[in-house]
Every structure is written in structure tokens, then in C-alpha cells.
Structure 1
Amino acid sequence: MKQGKILITGVAQGLGLGMSRYFLQHNYQVVGVDIDKDALTRLDDAGLPGLQLVHLDVSEETSVQALSRLIERQFGQIDGIINNAAISQPHHEPLAQLPLSHWQRVLAVNLTGPMLISKHVAPLLKPGGSIINIASTRAHQSEPDSEAYAAAKGGLIALTHAMAISLGPDVRVNVISPGWIDVSRLQPTPMEPVPSRHDHGQHPAGRVGDADDVAALARFLLSDEASFITGQEYIIDGGMSKRMIYPDGATAD
């Protein structure tokens, strides 16, 4: 028995692919969009039942409008939206050499994209429907040379509570901010190192996260059990953002 119909952006690899598989395994129908044609073709060849794929740049409003019309024709209404599409490489040149084009592209995909998807697809949500944005713990803490990514993810958290107020009470809007999520097995080519024993051990939870951890939280936030939750951020990082870290030999006051 199908539990619902949802839209997931950035579906063809990484966290989006992991979440899509999770929701399909839990009897959801998924409309999945991505800009990567080759990755979409590989996913289409897998023949996953209940998954419909659309090639789309989430930062292009006319394309998002066409997606909304497609969803309305085929499904009428849907239950939820997961705004996951992003340029996920956080690092760039030093700030003094940061190209304006890179800054603008990251904000267009990572921040404007979720706004456009929500603007044009939220009217198709059933009463009680839910939007979930995928931000990052990098909205709160940074490494050098990650301004564009951090700014976009921080903006997405603010966009979340703004939309929660604007779209409530019929639609709830929340944001999940993952920490280290191991997606190395969900990429067409190795793009990230496989976590080491040390990487797992430094997390208070004892391990690095995986896509199912994020998907399970998203599934709860989509459900009626979360009907009193809106405008909130959920950090899912194995406790890392709460751990005090000092240089070797330093101690807390």
C-alpha cells in the first residue's frame, strides 16, 4: 500500500539517491528531479518501481513551472517536498579570488532553487502537507574558503522559518541540517573518502551518519505524527556540533 507521493530534488546520487531508495522501500511514490543527465540515466536503468524521473535545473523558474504542471497532471496533489538539490562541494578559492559567478551559481541552486520549487509546487500539497529543506551543519560552523556554501545553507534555514509562517497552517516547513553523512557508496565515482575508524570514533554517536539516518527523520517530519512541528531546524550529526574540541594540551576553564 502506497503511503504517499513526494517530490525529491537532487535525486540521482549522494544523499538524494539514498533518500529516494529509502522512501521507495517504505512504499512512497517519488518524483525525482536532477540536473545530471548521465546520473538520471543510470538511475532510470535501475528500474526502481514507484520512481518517476525528471531532468531539471531547480534554479530555472520556467523549468520548475513545467514540473509543477507535470505533477498536477499526473498526481493532482502530493504529500511532501524534499528540497535536497545542491552544489554540494563546500570549498572554493580563497575569498579574495572567489569568482562572483561561483558565488551566484551556488546561491542559485542551493537557495533560490528550494524557493522556486516551494513557490510552484507547494500549491499542489495536500492540506497537512510538508516541505523539508536539506541544509547543513556548515550553516553554523565553517572551514576556510567555504563562504558560498555556508551562506546558502544559512539562508535556507532562514527561508525555512519564513515559509513556515507564510504557508501555515495548511503546509508545514522544516529543515534538516546533516553533518558528516557517508554517501561514498551512492556516487557514480568515488568523490569522498570512505570514513576511517577514527572518523567514526570521533563522533559521540560512535559512527558517521548514512543516508537512511536523514531519510528516517524526513519520513517522520512528513508524517501526521509531526503535525505540531513547523519552522524548526533538526541537526543530525552524531553529536559532533555539541562536542568541545581543543588543541592538543589545552583544557577547558
Structure 2
Amino acid sequence: MSQGKILITGVARGLGLGMSRYFLQHDYQVLGVDIDKNALTRLEETGLPGLQLVHLDVSEEPSVQALSRLIERQFGQLDGIINNAAIGQPCNEPLSQLPLSHWQRVLAVNLTGPMLISKHMAPLLTPGAAIINIASTRAHQSEPDNEAYVAAKGGLIALTHAMAVSLGPAVRVNVISPGWIDVSRLQTVPNNEAPDEHDHRQHPAGRVGKVEDVAALARFLLSGEAGFITGQEYVIDGGMSKRMIYPEGPAAD
């Protein structure tokens, strides 16, 4: 028996692809959307039972409105939404050279997109359903030249608690902020930069994260067992954001 119908954005690669497979394995029906037509075609050819795919740019409101009408006709209602679609490259050019077009595109996809999906899909959610936004630990920590990505992910955390208050009690809204999650096998082009032993050891948890770590948390937050949880951020990074790091090792006492 299906546990529910959920919408996941950004399903063609990486974390979105991994979460889609996870939820399908746990008897969910998944409606997946992505902007990459070629990647969607390759995914469709795998013939995963329970997966329906739609080509969509989450930042275009007319397209999102059309998706809501499609869902209403074919699904009736949804039991959850995972706003995962994002321009995932966190680095931009130096701030002095940052093109306004890049800034605006990252915010359009990574921040406006989740708002539009939630705006038009929330009326289709069953009572007690939930929305999960996927942010990043970079909303709290930065490297040089991360302005667009960091601003969008930080805004998404704030948007989460705003929507939780606006949509409650019928709909709960939470945000997951992953740290380093190994998606090297889930890219359109295979990624040879898989974590090495040093990468694993530097995490207090002893390893880099897996897609299943994020997906299992998302599954819990969508469930009735999380019925008293809304407006919250869940950092899932193996403890890295709590580890004090010095360039030359721990400081002397």
C-alpha cells in the first residue's frame, strides 16, 4: 500500500535523485520535477515504478501554476512536498565581479522557486501534510565568494518559519540543512571526486553524509510522528558545524 504521494523538485541528479529512489523504495508515489530535459529522459528510461516526471523551471510562476492543475487532475492531493531544486554550485565570482544576472538567477531558483511551489501546491496538501525545504549549512558558514548561494539558502531558512506560521496548523513546514553529502554517484556526469579517508575522518561522526541520511530525516518530518514539529531547521552534517577548526591544529590551553 502506498504511504502517500509527494512532490520532489530537482530530481534528475544528486540529492534529489537519491531522495526520489529512497521514497520509492519506501512505497511512496513520487512526482518529480526538474529543468534538465536530458537528465529527465535518462531517468525516465530507468522505468522506476511509482515515479512520474515533469519538466519544469520552478522559478517560472505560470509553469508552477500549470503543474498544480496537473497534480489536481492526476493525483487529487499531495501528502508532502520536498523543495530541493537549486543551482547547486555554491561559488560565484569575486563580489566585485559578481554579475547581477547570476545573483538574480540563483535567488530565483533557490529561494523564489520554493516559495512558488509552496504557494501553488499548499492548497493541494492533505490535512496534516508537510513541506520540507532543503537549505545548506552554508547558510551559517561561508567560504570566500559564496554570496548568491549563501544568501538564497539563508533566506530559505527564514522563509521556512514564515510559512510554518502562515500555513499552520493545516500544513507543517521545516527545513533540512545538509553539510557534506556524498552524491558523487548520482550526478548526470559521473563525479570522480568521491570523499577520501581524510574527508571521512574530519567529521565528528566519522564519515561524510549519505543521501539516505537526509532522506530518512525527510521521511520522518513528513510523517505523523513529527506532527508537533514545524518551523524548525535540522542541520545534518556529521557534527562539522560544531567542530572548532584551526589552520595549524587545536590551540594550546
Q: Give the alignment's TM-score, normalised by structure 2.
A: 0.98
AA aligned to 1:131 is I
In structure 2, the CA distance between the partners of 1:252 and 1:103, relative to structure 1 (3 Å rule), is: farther
Distance 2:106 2:133 in 1: 16
Whether 1:239 aligns to 2:239 is yes
Structure 2, unmatched stretches of 5+, are none
Q: Which residue of 2 aligns with 1:214?
A: 214
In structure 2, the CA distance between the partners of 1:249 and 1:193, relative to structure 1 (3 Å rule), is: closer
3-state SS in 1 of match to 2:81: strand
Q: Which residue of 1 aligns with 2:111?
A: 111
Q: Which residue of 2 aligns with 1:129?
A: 129
AA aligned to 1:225 is E
3-state SS in 1 of match to 2:82: strand
Distance 1:190 1:152 in 2: 27
Q: Which residue of 1 aligns with 2:24?
A: 24
Alpha-carbon shift at residue 111 of structure 1 (Å): 0.1
Alpha-carbon shift at residue 189 of structure 1 (Å): 1.0
Distance 2:150 2:29 in 1: 32
Q: Which residue of 1 aligns with 2:67?
A: 67
In structure 2, the CA distance between the partners of 1:103 and 1:225, relative to structure 1 (3 Å rule), is: same
Alpha-carbon shift at residue 250 of structure 1 (Å): 5.1
Alpha-carbon shift at residue 252 of structure 1 (Å): 5.8
C-alpha contact (below 8 Å) 2:185/2:191 kept by paired residues: no
Alpha-carbon shift at residue 97 of structure 1 (Å): 0.2
Q: Which residue of 1 aligns with 2:143?
A: 143
C-alpha contact (below 8 Å) 2:135/2:175 kept by paired residues: yes
Distance 2:180 2:39 in 1: 23
Alpha-carbon shift at residue 5 of structure 1 (Å): 0.3
Q: How does 1:44-63 map to 2 (within 5 A)?
A: 44-63=44-63
Q: How does 1:72-91 map to 2 (within 5 A)?
A: 72-91=72-91
1:166-196 superposed Cα distances (whole Å, 9 cap, x missing partner): 0000000000000000000001213461000
Alpha-carbon shift at residue 249 of structure 1 (Å): 5.0
In structure 2, the CA distance between the partners of 1:21 and 1:249, relative to structure 1 (3 Å rule), is: closer
AA aligned to 2:168 is G
AA aligned to 1:181 is I
C-alpha contact (below 8 Å) 2:174/2:233 kept by paired residues: yes
Whether 1:181 aligns to 2:184 is no
Distance 1:144 1:171 in 2: 37
Structure 1, unmatched stretches of 5+, are none
Q: Which residue of 2 aligns with 1:230?
A: 230
Question: Identity of paired residues, percent?
Answer: 84
Distance 1:249 1:197 in 2: 18
AA aligned to 1:198 is H
3-state SS in 1 of match to 2:235: strand
Alpha-carbon shift at residue 163 of structure 1 (Å): 0.1
In structure 2, the CA distance between the partners of 1:252 and 1:169, relative to structure 1 (3 Å rule), is: farther
AA aligned to 1:121 is M
AA aligned to 1:97 is Q
3-state SS in 1 of match to 2:185: helix
1:70-118 superposed Cα distances (whole Å, 9 cap, x missing partner): 0000111110000000000000110000000000000000000000000
Distance 2:22 2:190 in 1: 21
AA aligned to 1:173 is V
Alpha-carbon shift at residue 197 of structure 1 (Å): 0.3
Q: Which residue of 2 aligns with 1:99?
A: 99
Distance 2:210 2:197 in 1: 15
Distance 1:182 1:197 in 2: 13
Distance 1:78 1:248 in 2: 51
In structure 2, the CA distance between the partners of 1:90 and 1:191, relative to structure 1 (3 Å rule), is: farther
Whether 1:10 aligns to 2:10 is yes
* Alignment length (residue pairs): 253
Q: Which 4+ stretches in 1 moved above 4 angstroms?
A: none
C-alpha contact (below 8 Å) 2:6/2:78 kept by paired residues: yes
CA RMSD of aligned residues (A): 0.9
